[in-house]
Amino acid sequence: MWLPQAFREAPRLDESLQTLPPTPRHALLINPFYPKDPHASFGKHVLTPSLALTSIAASTPPEWEVEYWDENLLLGPPPCDPFPEVVGITVHLTFANRAYELARWYRARGAKVVLGGLHAISCPDEVAPHADAIAIGEGVQLWGEILSDVDRHQLKPVYHGSYRKPYRDDPPPRRDLLPRESFLTTSSLIATRGCHNRCDFCYLATDGLHMPYLLRDVEQIAQEFHDDDQPYAVFIDNNLGSRPEYLLELCRALQPLEKIWSAAVSIDVTDDPELVREMALAGCTGVFVGFESLQNENIVASHKKSPRTDDYARRVGVFHDNGIQVNGSFVLGFDHDRPDVFAHTAEWIEQNRLECATFHILTPYPGTPLFRQMEQDGRILHRDWSKYDTAHVVFKPRQMTIDELADGYAWCYHRLFSHRSIWRRRPKDPRSVLPYLAMSYLYKRSNWFWHFLIRNRLTARVWRPLVESTRRRHIRFRQRLREPNCGRPASQIISAGV
């Protein structure tokens, strides 16, 4: 698969560069580079910015200046003029080595480096030697304290934050720091934190991560969405539908905005078709659903609370009947998966006309029950964290070979992105076919184009007309959905989605 060097390798750090001394009270927050999966869409990496870093930036004391830098925007290495006094870097296991490389470079030139993120929670002993301080837990609570300690020359090696403090008290993210032209939308929103599931393979099951389900006031979310002046938002909640009564309240707060949005929800939100209708009326055009597997045995073994898989098709129909597109997430390589899982999954996706799908190779994240069990069984192949990205096989599958799993994963993406599959999954309503094809081909079959867009900061400019067109279509669709005498399923009226 074609993969430009800029998507394979991190920007080079100039080891010979001589910098000025650190500028007092100047902080830099970095989202490190990570290699892109050649089988997936490059566009997904610039859909929304890191909400974690912009939220942390919002807790910066007023006497400090703060910058934001995302290496995945292909704009080169992070800035060093002015040279920051403090550098905060988020660490995920797949780009841990890049985070350590950045930390070493800035520390060698006099900056204080703070490392945080999920990898700092799951592997603190590994992360700590690379930093002057590590933040374990909620960074929004800790960032101001850390900078105050730097001011007093009393920086501690470890800071612990709790996820139990009221979520509604957090300040709104600093979206003014973002290069708006580089993202599809800067309105990445989060209304809830946590999930009612605790699947063995999910990062939320990581040892040391205690994240109760907390809610923000719906008025806060609606105000943030309104203030960012974007037509489209992405909710990055793990599961926006964990509390149906809260989701209903949120939907009614979003309705007056006449904007569109998408979110991750579990399939059981379709228990109440009226709630799904309220989502559509509030502007929901797409959902990301973690189906994970089409075999009940896999769902039960991973301790996921979910309806039976033989009811998934009907539930997808509930979304489609309300004009909501479905991006299904599927994990490949469970212990009950055999080599036929790839063709079976692809055929099901096409039969049920899922507008998009995302595939993941089962990955035992360190600190999760899945990792502990596989390590105990001698099935872990290595600890090269850069390969723990759900695109590489890092364990011994039970019902197939390593090569069969790797090749099957690649085949699924090849099938999904094929002209044949895109056409088979088109909406039933003829009026919705052209918008669907435009979205599908731009997002799924234009990786060469994405390279050009990202490098030249044209993402927002190219996507904005399509998004605005979708928003206008969805406003008309809502009017039809409200008609009391409309007896047809909404999917037969119009399908509007991003």
Which residues lie closer than 8 Å to 256 by C-beta, 6 or more apart?
222
Identify the weakest region by mean pLDDT among 200-214, 221-235, 298-312: 200-214
pTM (two decimals): 0.90
DSSP reduced 3-state for 427: coil
pLDDT band at residue 204 under the 50/70/90 scheme: low
Mean pLDDT, the chain, rounded, equals 91
Helix (H), strand (E), coil (C) string for 429-453: CHHHHHHHHHHHHHHHCCHHHHHHH
9-33 pLDDT tens trace: 999 999 999 999 999 999 999 999 9
Identify the weakest region by mean pLDDT among 85-94, 146-155, 158-167, 345-354: 158-167
pLDDT band at residue 487 under the 50/70/90 scheme: very low
More confident residue, 213 or 274: 274
Both tokens of 319, joined, read 């979304």
Q: Given this model, what pLDDT does residue 399 score? A: 96
Examine the pLDDT at 306 and tell me if it is beyond 80.
Answer: yes
Q: Given this model, what pLDDT does residue 202 score? A: 64
The ranges assigned to domains in the chain are 5-167, 180-481
Q: Given this model, what pLDDT does residue 210 score? A: 63
416-470 pLDDT tens trace: 999 999 999 999 888 889 889 988 998 888 888 999 999 999 999 998 888 999 9
Looking at the DSSP assignment, which residues form a beta bridge with residue 260? 232
Helix (H), strand (E), coil (C) string for 147-187: HHHHHCCCCCCEEECCCCCCHHHCCCCCHHHCCHHHCCCCC
Q: Given this model, what pLDDT does residue 430 score? A: 85
Q: Given this model, what pLDDT does residue 304 score? A: 81
Fold adopted by 180-481 = pyruvate-formate lyase- activating enzyme (3.80.30)
Burial class of residue 257 (count of CB atoms within 10 Å of its CB; 0-12, 13-18, 19+)? middle
Q: Given this model, what pLDDT does residue 482 score? A: 87
Identify the weakest region by mean pLDDT among 41-45, 144-148, 223-227: 41-45
73-128 pLDDT tens trace: 999 999 999 999 999 999 998 999 999 999 999 999 999 999 999 899 888 999 99
238-283 pLDDT tens trace: 899 999 999 999 999 999 999 999 999 999 999 999 999 999 999 9
Q: How far apart are CA 488 and CA 375, in angstroms?
A: 53
348-385 pLDDT tens trace: 999 999 999 999 999 999 888 899 999 999 999 999 99
- The CATH number that domain 5-167 falls under is 3.40.50
* H helix count then E strand count, the chain: 18, 14
Examine the pLDDT at 197 and tell me if it is beyond 70.
Answer: no
Q: Given this model, what pLDDT does residue 492 score? A: 42
Nearest in space to 71 (alpha carbons), one of 39, 118, 36: 36
Examine the pLDDT at 317 and tell me if it is beyond 70.
Answer: yes
Q: How far apart are CA 277 and CA 279, in angstroms?
A: 5
